[in-house]
Amino acid sequence: MRDFVYPPVIAGLRTWFKLIDLKISVEGAEHIPQEGGAVLAATHVSYLDFIFTGFAALPVKRVVRFMAKKEIFANRFAGPLMRGMHHISVDRDAGLASYKESLRYLKEGELVGVFPEATTSQTFVVKEIKSGAVRMAIATGTPLIPMTVWGGQRLAGKGRKPELTKRHIPITVIAGEPMRPSRKDDMRELTTELQTRMHNLLDRAQREYPDQPKGEDDRWWLPAHLGGTAPAPETQVTGTDD
């Protein structure tokens, strides 16, 4: 698949990150295959998670095709970029077409990025996940790579005004060891295992994060169980806006 849009977008992002001195730490890039298809299943705490998840593939000189809601493709600014980078439009009321397109991409050897929680977590813990990532990996015989991103919510989190010029923010990206599901495996058990792996990666990223809140008003970006003021999981407002 030829890419004319992706390289300049990546270059632009690198420039932006340099200007705001964003500290991106990527661990586990060696788990992302240098060739062939794979499903990248990542946690979702910010609107920028797809950018940082994609950066984890750059060390192996690859790009990721993300599944994203169709409303982004309808935006007059973002839409042409999304189509130019060959991302996958998802209609939540009719998801079969996007599912089939994802399978085609995987069979053609592409990396497909998925956020199995289907919406951004305001509690900063992993919600119940959908089985789509597991189903795609089984159907195509491709590895399933659990991932986590932490820190992006400080720039663009759900329910807060974006602060895209905020400086010196650490971003942690971790790719875990690949799962290799087969048709013999129980899909529900695999989905539970994926959720557990995503949870463990996120918990580790949070506990090892190299920054702390600057006062009581800055504790909003930490989960409640780590002393933050994010809502507890049982009080999270669910939605379908991202």
d(CA 63, CA 83): 14
Residue 174: partners with Cβ closer than 8 Å, 6 or more residues away: 26, 27, 28, 147, 148, 201, 204, 205
pLDDT average, residue stretch 160-188: 96
Task: Enumerate the domain spans of the chain.
Answer: 24-235
Whether residue 8 is predicted with pLDDT greater than 60 in this model: the reply is: yes
- The pLDDT-based confidence of 187 (bands split at 50, 70, 90) is very high
CA distance 117 to 9: 26
| Residue in this structure with the two tokens 């495996």, named with its chain if needed | 185
Cα 10 to chain centroid distance, Å, stands at 16
Counting residues of the chain whose pLDDT is more than 90, the rounded percentage is 92
- The HSE-up count of residue 200 (CA atoms within 13 Å, CB side) is 10
DSSP-assigned beta bridge partners for residue 88: 67
Strands 144-150, 88-90: pairing kind:
unpaired
The answer to whether 211 and 176 are in contact (CB under 8 A) is no
Q: What is the pTM of this model?
A: 0.93
Average pLDDT, the chain: 94
At position 127, the amino acid (one-letter code) is K
Question: Over the stretch 105-151, which tens digit does the pLDDT of each residue have?
Answer: 999 999 999 999 999 999 999 999 999 999 999 999 999 999 999 99
Tell me: the pLDDT tens digits for 195-214?
A: 999 999 999 999 999 999 99
pLDDT at 234 over 90: no
Q: What is the pLDDT of residue 235?
A: 53
CB 85 within 8 A of CB 6: yes
CATH code for the structural domain at 24-235: 3.40.1130
Quote the crossing angle between the two packed helices 132-140 and 187-207, to the nearest 10°. 120
Per-residue confidence (pLDDT) for residue 155, from 0 to 100: 98
pLDDT on residue 1: 84
Give a three-class secondary structure readout of the chain. Answer: CCCCCHHHHHHHHHHHHHHCCCEEEEECHHHCCCCCCEEEEECCCCCCHHHHHHHCCHHHCCCEEEEEEHHHHHCCCHHHHHHHCCCEEECCCCCHHHHHHHHHHHHCCCEEEECCCCCCCCCCCCCCCCCHHHHHHHHHCCCEEEEEEECCHHHHCCCCCCCCCCCCCEEEEEECCCECCCCCCCHHHHHHHHHHHHHHHHHHHHHCCCCCCCCHHHHHHCCHHHCCCCCCHHHCCCCCCC
Q: Assign 35 a pLDDT band (cuts: 50, 70, 90).
A: very high
| Residue type, position 206, single letter | Q
Residue 241 backbone dihedrals phi, psi, to 5 degrees: -90, -5
